[in-house]
Amino acid sequence: MEAEDEELADWLAGQGSYAASRLAGLPSRAAFRLRVEELTAATSGRPVPLRVDPHAGHGFGSTRAQRAELTADMFAFLTHELGRAGYL
C-alpha cells in the first residue's frame, strides 16, 4: 500500500506543478481590474450589458426559451439606450 501512496503523491505533485504553470499564465486580479477600467473608460460612460446565465450552453446547447430570453434582453437594452424606454 505504501507504493500506491508514493505513486499517488507523485501524481498529485505533478498535477500541482501543471496547475501552477497554467495559472501563472492567467492575468492577475490587478491586471484584470486595470483592463476592466480601460474598457470602461473607452465606453465614454455608456452602460455595457453583461448577462450571466449559468445554465446556458455555447449556443448550440441553448434551448428555445434561453434564446428568446437573450433576444428579449438585447432588444430591451437597445430600446432603452435609444431612448425608447416607453416601449419596454
pLDDT of the chain, 88 residues: tens digit per residue: 455 678 877 777 777 777 777 767 777 778 877 887 887 788 777 777 888 877 776 667 778 888 899 899 999 888 888 887 665 5
Same domain, 41 and 59: no
Cα 3 to Cα 7, 11, 12, 14, 48: the distances in Å are: 6, 12, 14, 16, 56
Tell me what pLDDT residue 2 has: 58
Same domain, 79 and 38: no
Q: How many domains is the chain built from?
A: 2
- pTM of the model as a whole: 0.46
Same domain, 59 and 30: no
Which structural domain, as residue segments, surrounds residue 74?
49-88
CB 80 within 8 A of CB 88: yes
Same domain, 55 and 22: no
